[in-house]
A and B are shown apart, each in its own frame.
Chain A
């Protein structure tokens, strides 16, 4: 439907871009999930203004509709390409890496051009956004020049001739426009990827994004290609359900991608070297935790943490449950969460928040239990960690 509108607009405007390039650009913009950050809650798509919390302050995303005054209507193809792949906008303005140009740099020039063609085909929306909203000294964008020098490695993706087409396509998407590592790779003190720990899991905005290497406890070791494809296409696969920020990624981006591309991403991720996990012995499970689990959790998640496909995530063997840091778990217990809803898997089941139903000791105890039962092993959370998460996620 949106495609049809875009095509009509294109015809009306008499733009120079070819229709198929716009269609391709729209797909690639979906891979990049541009709409997620560049749309304010309740706002016009791509018109920017969504607040994005970073460790350095809250940014607001730019208006990327072709409005000349407040959007990017005045940008040339070259300027657009430079912004996305070099992180430098017209006027020499350095972008913050909240816009994942360190990933987009790996995209091919014709793909970036197609995205630009698609964005130009949209209706311009006048929506001035103050994008420089970080507190001093991070408001000095020139500081980004040093950041770039230290952390930014520009350069397009190169296929590995030793690997097959699927692996290479998957790598191109995962490491490039898909920017999976933006969440799933740990960040250093400057907010840059710790490249040695690429895709081994990261903490962002109070959510732990689990590892995407085939590691047994904290990664994808138990996953099949089919399971991963189902997860990305529907939000439900491998006994898990996308929720939190990943629900949005599935709903807006991966559920709209082709099977071939999803399969390629799965092939690539499962073929990467597994994170070397420190051997963790299960901690003793508190009796209180077992009692609470039995009384409050088992009716949905199952006596053995097995869950129900498409409805309740399995806790047994879950990388989220065994995350090195328990923030996401604590947060979900406190606030609840809703699974992704897609056309293929519309259920979108939810868990209630337990903030007023369980106290800090009880939450710590039940999480210690689920993190160390049924073969799971990870450090028990402390009640003080739960207290810190109350009212101040992140």
Chain B
């Protein structure tokens, strides 16, 4: 997640380089490009994730669920990028288990954890539900499996189901509430649900208005519909 453009690789150690800032500020550093061209999930994996995120954040009359909000696409892009590779993390061995308060110690990157756990979940579902996929199960059964993973009571063959659930839940919430440029929070659905105005950067006119609703709609890094309304 560290744009290379920010690095000043041209700095020769031997040069007596004074601090020079360009006269022209130049472009703003952009968020890391979304890995749209290279989907991470297979079709079957994608179907499972889409079904799961829609149980974690189910649709209701007021707001869309995780599926319609793009949470699965969000996770797909994240796993295809540096986050999926744990690119910025300390990944040197040895990987010992430790005690919980020492933090995560797994050698698995997020991408590998998803791949491993989704394969194990597919196997589990085929065995337990007469060859059916997770996505084909009724919502109540999907919830039962998710609750089992959350509680650690449902064991996946060859994968840590609890750790997978925690990762999936965290990534789903990220997808629901992160800026729409990352593929989730489609139409700012997550932000609209809670009333978060997004990337607005100036509330000076509102800070002293106590206990009053904030009137303006959310805006994302790529704007909002009002940016394109006709004059």
Interface residues of A (CB under 8 A from B): 247-248, 284-289, 291-292, 294-295, 298-299, 303, 335-338, 348, 350-357, 361-362, 365, 368
Is B102 engaged at the interface, CB distance under 8 Å to the other chain? Answer: no
Given contacts A287-B231, A299-B202, contact A353 B27 (CB under 8 A): yes
Are B25 and A352 neighbours in the complex by a CB distance under 8 Å?
yes
CA A350 – CA B25 in complex, angstroms? 6
Main secondary structure, interface of B, reads loop
6 A–B contacts, CB within 8 A, in A order: A288-B227, A299-B202, A303-B204, A335-B24, A336-B24, A351-B25
Give chain B nearest CB distance to A340 CB in angstroms. 9
Contact of A336 among B27, B216, B221, B223 (CB under 8 A): B27
Is B97 engaged at the interface, CB distance under 8 Å to the other chain? Answer: no
Nearest residue in A to B203 (C-beta to C-beta)?
Answer: A299
Are B202 and A287 neighbours in the complex by a CB distance under 8 Å?
no
Given contacts A299-B201, A299-B202, A303-B202, contact A291 B27 (CB under 8 A): no
Are A353 and B227 neighbours in the complex by a CB distance under 8 Å?
no
Give chain A nearest CB distance to B7 CB in angstroms. 18
Are B226 and A338 neighbours in the complex by a CB distance under 8 Å?
no
Is B53 engaged at the interface, CB distance under 8 Å to the other chain? Answer: no
CA A336 – CA B22 in complex, angstroms? 11
Are B227 and A284 neighbours in the complex by a CB distance under 8 Å?
no
Q: How many residues on B have C-beta within 8 angstroms of the other chain's C-beta atoms?
A: 26
CA A294 – CA B227 in complex, angstroms? 10
Are A291 and B227 neighbours in the complex by a CB distance under 8 Å?
yes
Is B42 engaged at the interface, CB distance under 8 Å to the other chain? Answer: no
Nearest residue in B to A351 (C-beta to C-beta)?
Answer: B25
Are A288 and B23 neighbours in the complex by a CB distance under 8 Å?
no
Are B25 and A295 neighbours in the complex by a CB distance under 8 Å?
no
Is B9 engaged at the interface, CB distance under 8 Å to the other chain? Answer: no
Are A338 and B231 neighbours in the complex by a CB distance under 8 Å?
no
- Enumerate chain A residues within 8 angstroms of B106, measured Cβ to Cβ: none
Are B226 and A357 neighbours in the complex by a CB distance under 8 Å?
no
Given contacts A295-B219, A299-B202, A362-B223, contact A288 B231 (CB under 8 A): yes
Hey, what's the 0/1 contact readout for B212-231 against A, CB within 8 Å counting as 1?
Answer: 00001001010110111111
CA A335 – CA B205 in complex, angstroms? 30
CA A76 – CA B229 in complex, angstroms? 67
- Enumerate chain A residues within 8 angstroms of B22, measured Cβ to Cβ: 338
Nearest residue in A to B30 (C-beta to C-beta)?
Answer: A356
Are A295 and B28 neighbours in the complex by a CB distance under 8 Å?
no
Is B199 engaged at the interface, CB distance under 8 Å to the other chain? Answer: yes
CA A299 – CA B27 in complex, angstroms? 18
Is B37 engaged at the interface, CB distance under 8 Å to the other chain? Answer: no
- Enumerate chain B residues within 8 angstroms of A350, measured Cβ to Cβ: 21, 25
Are B23 and A247 neighbours in the complex by a CB distance under 8 Å?
yes
Contact of B24 among A288, A338, A361, A365 (CB under 8 A): A338
- Enumerate chain A residues within 8 angstroms of B126, measured Cβ to Cβ: none
Are A292 and B25 neighbours in the complex by a CB distance under 8 Å?
no
Are A288 and B229 neighbours in the complex by a CB distance under 8 Å?
yes
Is B26 engaged at the interface, CB distance under 8 Å to the other chain? Answer: yes
- Enumerate chain B residues within 8 angstroms of A284, measured Cβ to Cβ: 231
Are A336 and B227 neighbours in the complex by a CB distance under 8 Å?
no
